Copies of this chain bind each other. A is one copy, B any other.
Amino acid sequence: MDFSSKLLENAVYEMSQLPGIGKRTALRLVLHLLKQPNERTKGLTTALSNLREGIKLCENCHNISDVQLCELCASSKRDRSLICVVEDIRDVMAIENTSQYNGLYHVLGGKISPMEGVGPQELTIGSLVKKAKSGEIKELIFALSSTMEGDTTNFYIYKQLEGLDINTSTIARGIAVGDELEYADEVTLGRSILNRIPFEGSLKAN
């Protein structure tokens, strides 16, 4: 693309560094900001700067937080003996949206992935193991994505907990509620048959 303005070119370049934003989309977004009142751009840039400078991670669960201890960890209503291990803060938000979980979380910050140069040291596994050794935790729920990296990470943590009196579980995989069996992939359908649950148990969930 041939820009008539260096300032514009620079703004489009920076915008196109965001994931999933190509040059054309970046140009559209930047031109949109130019058409809007000045305050729009100012609002966006201020919000991003404030976030980048002011953001903290909860010292207990590593969730994003404005204070040292996040709302969930600070709450007296949550079950502190139950920890759900997730990859990312988006997973915390997704599970919180279900209103079905009353324990705490532990945000790993990613999965072990040698291909991308992410080892256990890059994640918050150390602090999770330390928490586990303090004796406060009764159950650890693995809720990582079911990929090779997710499984590896689960297993790595599982090995680190050997000898401790902690139950481990993973979230159930199966056919989504409302989905048709004929369109499900075989692996998922297979697992949902292997891991079937008593019919009386399924009634309680609703």
Contact = CB atoms under 8 A, between A and B. Distances in A.
5 contacts: A5-B64, A5-B66, A13-B47, A18-B32, A45-B45
B34 A28 contact: no
Main secondary structure of the interface of A (DSSP, over half): helix
Interface residues of A, number: 57
A47 B10 contact: yes
Contacts of A7: 47, 50-51, 54-55, 66
B11 A47 contact: yes
B52 A8 contact: no
Interface of A: 1-8, 10-11, 13-15, 17-21, 25, 27-34, 38, 40-45, 47-52, 54-55, 58, 63-66, 70-72, 88-90, 92-93, 96-97
